[in-house]
Structure 1
């Protein structure tokens, strides 16, 4: 039934998703010109609110859990597992008060309405995976902005999407690079569960009626811990939450 309804609902979902991306491209430009970084951020938040709304067209159940009073006066590194592109709009919207940024492939800064504009001007890090020097430099620049503005960053240490929902080993590189410049950052794991099911049949049809959860887990203070211990603790917490 999930697949059958997917054939019916997926075109409507894609139509609305694409419409919002096209509509908000000029909106972001105007907000950046008139309102600067803060105005641009508000337009991006609103865009992702509408993008998240298109999940309901697919009959998806969206659940975000955050039982913790996370600080807004210090940087946060959110460490999350990654199951599909549908992870991201929810993270931007639900973590909006923490100014969450992303480390993205530089290829995504061209050709995608709204998304490419946001990646260029939103303050995240756009890295060339073939150029390690450029990648480290970009992440350092992001870390400096985190320190200066108390921004946060979302990292997917698996390195790629886990298309079947099975957690892949976490790499320490991105977290370690950020913590070198932002040693006072709080580490906060997030367990994402169910978004892979939305795309289990590929891009078409999407699977209707799936439950997707984003669960904020207990924060980890990095002080007196090695990079390996920090990432291992986050990985273990996420693994437990996904059981």
Structure 2
């Protein structure tokens, strides 16, 4: 019975999700080309609010917790574990005042209404994972951008989504590149839970209804005097402490 309900609610969700993609693609294009970047940012924020609340269609719950206030007068590098594509909208919505910009694989910048357009217009670092030189150059460009504007960058240092509840090793290269041009950035770990089980096949059908989805933005890590290895390990340990304590 539960599996049948998963299929039914997934169909309803996908119809709603597809409608949001089409509507907000048009909204973004108009906002960017007629009213400029600020209007585009607001349209993206609202789009991701709608995506976040769309999880309720499946009977799932959404919880966001922020353990401290983060500065707006310096750049921030958010480091999160990666479980599914559903990780992203809530980060954009709940941390919107910090202007989060993502490190993303370049394939996502084409062919997906709303999402691809935002990646191209937001200043995201669109990396080719088969070309390390290109990837570093893109991340350095983003690093310079967040330093100049006191924005934030979001990176998933596991690289790809984990297929289990165990986190993969955190790659240091992207973190190092982000700190290169923004050495005064505060590093903030984000612990994400529930999205892998919500989306167990890494597709979108069927989703697991009545899932508990949560994002916990943790205490910031000051990078001064620390190596990239130390920062990556400290971030991973902070995330793991939240994830595994809640699993116990």
**TM range, normalised to the smaller chain?**
over 0.9
The residue aligned with 1:11 is 11
Per-residue Cα deviation, 1:170-213 (whole angstroms, up to 9, x for no partner): 11110000111100000000100111111125532110000011
Aligned residue runs from structure 1 range 20-169, under 5 A: 20-169=20-169
TM-score (norm 2): 0.95
Q: What is the aligned length?
A: 243
Question: Post-superposition shift, 1:2?
Answer: 4.3
Please say which of residues 129-138 and 75-84 is displaced more in the overlay: 129-138
In the TM superposition, what whole-angstrom CA distance separates every residue of 1:154-181 from its partner, at most 9, and x where no partner exists?
Answer: 1101111012222111111100001111
SS at match of 1:187: strand
Distance, in Å, in 2 between the alignment partners of 1:105 and 1:92 is: 17
Paired residue for 1:194?
194
2:72 aligns to what SS in structure 1?
A: coil
CA contact (8 A) 1:2 1:207 kept: no
- Taking the aligned partners of 2:33 and 2:205, their CA distance within structure 1 comes to 37
User: Over the residues paired in the alignment, what is the CA RMSD in angstroms?
Assistant: 1.1
Structure 1's 92 and 5: CA in aligned 2 closer, same or farther, altered over 3 A? same
Aligned to 1:219: 220
Report the Cα offset of residue 141 of structure 1: 1.1
How far apart in 1 are the matches of 2:105 and 2:39? 24
TM-score scaled to structure 1, two decimals?
Answer: 0.97
Deviates more, 1:2-11 or 1:112-121: 2-11
**Structure 1 residue runs of 4 or more that deviate by more than 6 Å after TM superposition:** none
The aligned counterpart of 2:243 is 242
Counterparts of 1:154 and 1:165 in 2: how far apart (Å)?
Answer: 21
* Structure 2 unpaired stretches of 5+: none
Superposed CA deviations along residues 1-30 of structure 1, whole A, max 9, x for unmatched, are 543321110011001111001001111111
Unaligned runs of 5+ in 1: none
